[in-house]
Amino acid sequence: MVKLHNLYFKPFISESEIQETVARMTKEIADDIGDEIPVFVGILNGSFMFVSDFVKKFPKPCEVTFIKLASYEGLKSSDDIKRLIGITQDLTGRTVVILEDIIDSGKTLGEVHRIFENEKVKELRIATLFYKPEAYKKDYKIHYVGIEIPNKFIVGYGLDFDGLGRDLPEVYQLKTTQHMINIVLFGPPGAGKGTQAAFLKEKYDLVHISTGDVFRNNINNETALGMLAKSFMDKGELVPDQVTIDMLSNEVEKNADAKGFIFDGFPRTDAQAKALDDLLESKDSEISAMIALEVDDEVLVKRLLERGKTSGRTDDADENIIRNRIQEYYKKTAPLKNYYSAQKKYFGVDGIGNIEAITQRLSNVINKL
Ligand code: AMP
């Protein structure tokens, strides 16, 4: 992901795909042109990278020149095409191939045709690396197309967003969801995830989703989901993955405008972690960090028994159930540390101490994201 000015862009077309496309285009054009020496005309600024790679790969002698037009302002193609540098050499009788980085509405192409109206070239061909068929509104023939793309704003490989991004060797697409902070609060039962989440959601304006709380609400409301979940929760076992994943997706969808989420008690298995990645990816987002509250088992048991005196939670009242929950954690959930460590997203925080001190330790991690 890259940030340009205030917006985020995600990878879209790789450097290798671009280079393969440029190579294919040079071959196609060289075959068509035969033995003539063509003049390639790049449209500045955007086409400078394309033209450079193109002529390096072009297998025969050629000439290169540029004209400079300006059409984009910010994210919108403006109606007003400015001609900044026109043709600077005599092209009479020559085969000219325009090299465009991208053709979308076709306004720039219209200006190119106006420029060449009075030139007595032998032939004018149009080649573009990227083409947006959904946006194209003109009738001019486009002879060579590299890659057809949907009508989304892209940057990189010569293309800019308000001056930035031209230098990137690959192409990025504007993210539909802008930057979210998504935190997985991790740790065994009793580590203090719920307590800390309550502070962090206020501090960072995030939506807190506790799968345990959602299950408990369902139990209180005697829903079918609640009845199903209860049979597992009462024994201190995990509710089956698919049930939990569907419920979590629902909760995320309910908060489409969230600036980010604190996931508390989810994911608890590998399958849940993968499902969460997929869900966030479908929103052009991702987990920012897994932050683990590290607390000794014996402290956990004591805390949960203490909480059980007032929480009304049956799974907090019985030491055997508590120990089973902790077992489930080590067996199925603790391995997720590796999952997030592999993505360099795992942060451990000492979960023993007073509540404010622990909130501060968590904030120190979040502030650096
Ligand atoms: P918690 O409130 O997070 O301690 O969760 C209480 C109980 O709800 C757990 O012991 C599980 O039975 C169930 N539960 C909560 N979250 C999940 C999850 N992500 N996957 C499976 N079961 C869960």
Enumerate residues 6+ apart whose C-beta is below 8 A from 28: 144
Q: Assess whether the C-beta atom of 239 lies below 6 angstroms from ligand 1.
A: yes
Q: Which of 184, 193, 213, 215 to mutate to test the pocket of ligand 1 (most atoms within 8 A of CB)?
A: 215
Give the mean model confidence (pLDDT) for residues 131-140: 95
Q: What is the pLDDT of residue 78?
A: 60
User: In degrees, to the nearest 5, what angle opens at C-alpha 225 toward C-alphas 224 and 226?
Assistant: 90
Ligand 1 centroid to residue 320 C-alpha, Å: 16
The answer on pLDDT for 268 being more than 80 is: yes
Ligand 1 centroid to residue 255 C-alpha, Å: 21
Q: What is the DSSP string of 181-206?
A: EEEEEE-STTSSHHHHHHHHHHHHT-
Percentage of the chain lying above the pLDDT 90 cut? 86
Q: Assess whether the C-beta atom of 189 lies below 6 angstroms from ligand 1.
A: yes
Q: What is the pLDDT of residue 79?
A: 63
Query: What's the N-to-C CA distance of the chain in angstroms?
Result: 14
State the Cα–Cα distance between residues 152 and 159, nearest whole angstrom.
13
At 257, the pLDDT band (50, 70, 90 cuts) reads confident
Among 28, 86, 101, 90, residue whose Cα is nearest residue 63: 90
Ligand 1 centroid to residue 212 C-alpha, Å: 5
Ligand 1 centroid to residue 210 C-alpha, Å: 9
* Same fold for the pair 2-174 and 181-367: yes
At 209, the pLDDT band (50, 70, 90 cuts) reads very high
Q: Assess whether the C-beta atom of 238 lies below 6 angstroms from ligand 1.
A: yes
pTM above 0.85, yes or no: no
CATH class given for the domain over 181-367: alpha beta
Q: What is the pLDDT of residue 95?
A: 97
Ligand 1 centroid to residue 281 C-alpha, Å: 24
Contact 291, 336 (CB under 8 A): no
Among 225, 224, 216, 223, residue whose Cα is nearest residue 245: 225
* H or E, element range at 353: none
* Nearest Cα residue to atom 14 of ligand 1: 212
Among 21, 29, 77, 27, residue whose Cα is nearest residue 50: 21
Among 343, 340, 322, residue whose Cα is nearest residue 272: 340
- For the chain, how are helix, strand and coil distributed in percent, rounded to 5? 40, 25, 35
Atom of ligand 1 nearest to the CA of 211: 16
Taking only the tens place, the pLDDT of each residue in 166-208 is: 999 999 999 877 789 999 999 999 999 999 999 999 999 999 9
Among 112, 111, 110, 117, residue whose Cα is nearest residue 99: 112
Q: Assess whether the C-beta atom of 265 lies below 6 angstroms from ligand 1.
A: yes
Taking only the tens place, the pLDDT of each residue in 351-361 is: 999 999 999 99
Atom of ligand 1 nearest to the CA of 232: 12
Taking only the tens place, the pLDDT of each residue in 63-102 is: 999 999 876 566 666 667 777 888 889 999 999 999 999 9
Q: What is the pLDDT of residue 178?
A: 72
Where are the domains positioned within the chain?
2-174, 181-367
Q: What is the pLDDT of residue 208?
A: 97
Ligand 1 centroid to residue 323 C-alpha, Å: 14
Domain 2-174 has CATH 3.50.30.60: no
Ligand 1 centroid to residue 198 C-alpha, Å: 18
What is the Cβ-side half-sphere exposure of residue 308, based on CA atoms within 13 angstroms? Answer: 17
Higher pLDDT, 347 or 1: 347
Contact 209, 251 (CB under 8 A): yes
The answer on pLDDT for 348 being more than 90 is: yes
Contact 239, 232 (CB under 8 A): yes
Q: What is the pLDDT of residue 166?
A: 97
